[in-house]
Amino acid sequence: MTPQDHEMPVESILAEQVRVLYVEGQRLILTGIAAALIMVWVLWDQVAHGALLGWLAAFGAYSLVRAIMTRAYRRRTSDTDDSTWMTRVQWALVVGGCIWASACFLFYVPDRVEYQLFLVTMLLGAVASGLVTLAVNLPAYVGFVTPFLAAAAIRFGMENDPLHWGIALAATVTFFLFVNFARFIQNSFVESLRLRMQLAERNRQLAERNRAIEAANLAKSRFLAAASHDLRQPLHALNLFVAQLHDERDAGERSRLVARIDTAVGAMNALFDALLDISKLDAGVLAPTLTDFPVHHLLQRVETTFAATAREKELRLRIVPSTVRIRSDAILLERILLNLVSNAVRYTMQGGIVIGCRRRGPNVRIDVWDTGIGIPEDQQRNIFGEFYQISRMERDRHAGLGLGLAIVERLCHLLDHPVTVASTPGKGSRFSVLLPQATAPASTALLADATVTVDPVRGKLVVVIDDDTLVLDGMRGVLHGWGCQTVTAESEETALATLARGGARPDLIISDYRLADGRTGFDVVERLRRIYGTAVPAFLITGDTTTERMHQAHAGDLLLLHKPVTPMTLRATVTQLLRQTSSAAG
């Protein structure tokens, strides 16, 4: 239990105490009226009628005032200060106690012990009944009982005999005893109230959590439905193109169909890559590498990437030159800008896009301006959600996947680079990313000439383990095309047997994650490395995009590629690992 669980706003306790004193205190008023009437009736022949009626009138007026106060409390406005209501009722109770105190002197019957004991009994009844209702607030209870218990002790103490002195002493002891009881009741009341309010808060938090879970499940369902739709579209087209390709004899048409197939495959890969980026960011396995670098080189690469697309749409794409150096992760920041400029080009029908940066104190703000369709103000937060598009009510395949800005927001959060948007429908938008300037000046050291290196892939022995024969056949063909020697096998046992016959040690291991008989790629790589006594370079390929798998690969210091893997990505990964090995050996 956290310290906050033990704490409770004083205002909440006070409000409940005030409520009990006013609302539940009505019962005390009714019992007081009944007790007053009984006492007047019993003492009617022993006390002057004027004193009895005067006292009864005073007590009736007091009871009426209390009833009016309770009515006013019930009709109070919510912004009324509870401390004011508490002060009022405490003073009212002091007045009530004083009225009962006056009875000790007005209704004391000399030489008639039975009436004196009756008077004491009535006073003790008032003390006990007050304990039930008023003890929730100790000052209120003490203010009520002190006057008449003090009056009883004084009046009976005035008599010169041990019996009356004993009654006076008993009244004093009763006072301290009941005050102690009242303190215990007040503490129990506050603790009970604390527990009740904690339970209410827990129930509220649970309800909020349930609503959040329901919203997350609904969002997940929408996310999967949209992803399924966007995957089926190029897959459907791919099936049609492949069917046409089987029956087509014209070389030109076959080339066109192959190009269309390549486009459909590219669309599927783009969606898989975007989904994988979302998964990695949500899993927290991406760790930024912050460096200082000139922003101009980054802007030039972005311009080169979109120059042809902008020309095709007859748009002006302009980069504002800058000498600013910034501090960020160059790769992740480039991905942010690529997504922002991609959106700008996609949603701009005429005019152009301008990309530049401005100094803002110790920071730099990179702006992407466009003259596109603009974004209504009520949608400017929604655009960072998955699969959200603003071009029309229904999703538009030609308007992109709707994941770009979701990736931008997550990357900006990861890098601590706030992203903002300002837009006017029909006029255009400006997306801005705020990041720090470089902390150190640019180095003036001359770079050494790059040395020409041989292809690190050619001639290397690569072991591929996968229980899918189609995948093995495809990997074998691609690796042979790069000049690699290959050993392909459906299990580690088969791979080891083949390697033993050749007497060679593998230069690289590529394994699927899920293999036959419950084995995993982690198991295979670990065993092969143990057999050969060295950390053979290796990476895994999987269709499992769960965060658990990503964390497992991150902890094992293994690269994890997610299917489908393009030949370009495969070649880059193989080259990177083999080059690192060559550098370490050199």
- H/E stretch holding 467 reads none
> For residues 129 and 28, what is the distance between their CA atoms, to the nearest angstrom?
7
The residue with greater pLDDT, 288 or 354, is 354
pLDDT tier, 223 (very low <50, low <70, confident <90, very high otherwise) = low
Q: Check pLDDT > 50 for residue 379.
A: yes
Contact 562, 272 (CB under 8 A): yes
Predicted pLDDT of residue 400: 47
> For residues 293 and 95, what is the distance between their CA atoms, to the nearest angstrom?
81
Q: Name the β-bridge partners of 423.
A: 429
pLDDT tier, 240 (very low <50, low <70, confident <90, very high otherwise) = confident
pLDDT tier, 278 (very low <50, low <70, confident <90, very high otherwise) = low
> For residues 29 and 62, what is the distance between their CA atoms, to the nearest angstrom?
9
Helices (H) and strands (E) in the chain, counts: 17, 12
Other C-beta atoms closer than 10 Å to the C-beta of 77 total 5
Sign of CA dihedral 66, 70, 71, 76: positive
Query: What's the average model confidence in pLDDT over 244-254?
Result: 80
Q: Which CATH class is domain 461-585?
A: alpha beta
Contact 347, 370 (CB under 8 A): yes
Predicted pLDDT of residue 503: 80
Q: Check pLDDT > 90 for residue 332.
A: no
> For residues 529 and 495, what is the distance between their CA atoms, to the nearest angstrom?
13
> For residues 281 and 269, what is the distance between their CA atoms, to the nearest angstrom?
18
Contact 356, 322 (CB under 8 A): yes
Segments in 361-418 forming alpha helices (H) = 404-415
Predicted pLDDT of residue 436: 92
pLDDT tier, 316 (very low <50, low <70, confident <90, very high otherwise) = very high
Query: What's the average model confidence in pLDDT over 329-343?
Result: 84
Query: What's the average model confidence in pLDDT over 5-19?
Result: 72
DSSP one-letter code for 514: B
Predicted pLDDT of residue 364: 93
Query: What's the average model confidence in pLDDT over 229-243?
Result: 68
Contact 500, 521 (CB under 8 A): no
- 510-539: pLDDT as tens digits: 999 888 878 888 888 888 888 888 888 899
Predicted pLDDT of residue 200: 85
Query: What's the average model confidence in pLDDT over 490-499?
Result: 88
The residue extents of the domains of the chain are 3-206, 248-285, 291-436, 461-585
Query: What's the average model confidence in pLDDT over 383-398?
Result: 50
- Which residues are CB-neighbours of 541 under 8 A, at least 6 positions away? 466, 510, 511, 512, 513, 521, 560, 561, 562, 563, 565
Contact 368, 355 (CB under 8 A): yes
Query: What's the average model confidence in pLDDT over 476-485?
Result: 89
pLDDT tier, 399 (very low <50, low <70, confident <90, very high otherwise) = very low
Query: What's the average model confidence in pLDDT over 30-45?
Result: 88
| Residue 221: both structure tokens together | 């369902």
Predicted pLDDT of residue 432: 92
Query: What's the average model confidence in pLDDT over 391-408?
Result: 54
- Which residues are CB-neighbours of 66 under 8 A, at least 6 positions away? 25, 29, 92, 96
Question: Lowest mean pLDDT: which of 37-41, 99-103, 443-447, 569-573?
Answer: 443-447
Predicted pLDDT of residue 212: 77
Predicted pLDDT of residue 57: 92
Question: Lowest mean pLDDT: which of 169-178, 281-290, 533-542?
Answer: 281-290
User: Coil, strand, or helix at residue 487?
Assistant: strand
Q: Are strands 538-542 and 559-562 parallel, antiparallel or unpaired?
A: parallel
Predicted pLDDT of residue 447: 37
Q: Check pLDDT > 90 for residue 304.
A: no
- For residue 486, how far is the Cα from the chain centroid? 48
Question: Lowest mean pLDDT: which of 201-205, 260-264, 394-398, 500-504?
Answer: 394-398
> For residues 394 and 49, what is the distance between their CA atoms, to the nearest angstrom?
91
End-to-end CA distance of the chain: 58
Predicted pLDDT of residue 1: 40
Predicted pLDDT of residue 58: 92
Question: Lowest mean pLDDT: which of 89-103, 322-336, 394-408, 425-439?
Answer: 394-408
Which CATH number describes the domain made up of 291-436?
A: 3.30.565.10
Query: In angstroms, what CA-CA distances link 174 with 39, 170, 178, 511?
Result: 21, 6, 6, 86
